[in-house]
Structure 1
């Protein structure tokens, strides 16, 4: 999917659209979602142009990853949440609606309207090992065999 520099998050980064910022660094911005799953729902976006997580440079991903524990602690404390979902939707089929990679930090409460868990599948025969080998091959020669 091609990056669209006119997406809403790019406009927020350029200051063309206001946001309720909770944290900003040289490499990322965290702000409240205006259509929250639960109140206190925070979005975290890197300040680089990448439509999906697989397009994001490793250093930009590492920067956002380093912010997530701190943001999670703050969301839990501020909302009194019993738990959190930290989610990246990768591509439209996975629910991504804004084509700028972003993380959701969603405060969760017992009895809230969000349904979990997702349905699960299983592997048959040697299917697990075949899938492992395919993913390891896609990672390249630096991947681990164990």
Structure 2
């Protein structure tokens, strides 16, 4: 685990400590939500744990559960305040998925009819036994001794 209370090089850790100014919208003992300074759409909020963890897969389950418990309320507030028609709740986990800040976090992005954000992503179908094979690999990973960490 790479969880630490604080990483002085992490902008989100510095926001949590008040070293970098932010527009906080919600704060608990273990989490903080603030407006993204480079929003996809106005009202784009980031929800972060107060302790430093590189990404979602490294969050302890209790912290992840706490952040998850804040999501419905935050999403309702973002949608109501922005007048959005909907929203995306996104976690970019790892560079391949677009994660640019190495501190696990959720994005709540308001969406509007006819905004400039392109969706849906392209989809494909499984070929042959591929569906069954990936299902079995996921089940095996879930039941491995490391899955509980």
Q: What TM bracket, shorter-length normalisation?
A: over 0.9
Structure 1, unmatched stretches of 5+, are none
Aligned length in residues = 142
Q: C-alpha displacement at 1:133, in angstroms?
A: 0.5
Q: CA-to-partner distance for each residue in 1:29-52, whole Å, 9 max, x for gaps? A: 000001000000000001122111
Q: Show the 5 A alignment for 1:1-146.
A: 5=7, 6-140=9-143
TM-score, L = length of structure 2 = 0.91
Structure 2, unmatched stretches of 5+, are none
Segments of 4+ moved more than 2 angstroms: none
Q: C-alpha displacement at 1:106, in angstroms?
A: 0.3
Q: Secondary structure at the match of 1:19?
A: coil
Distance 1:47 1:81 in 2: 28
Q: CA-to-partner distance for each residue in 1:65-119, whole Å, 9 max, x for gaps? A: 0000000000111011000000000001110000000100000001111000001
Q: Secondary structure at the match of 1:60?
A: helix
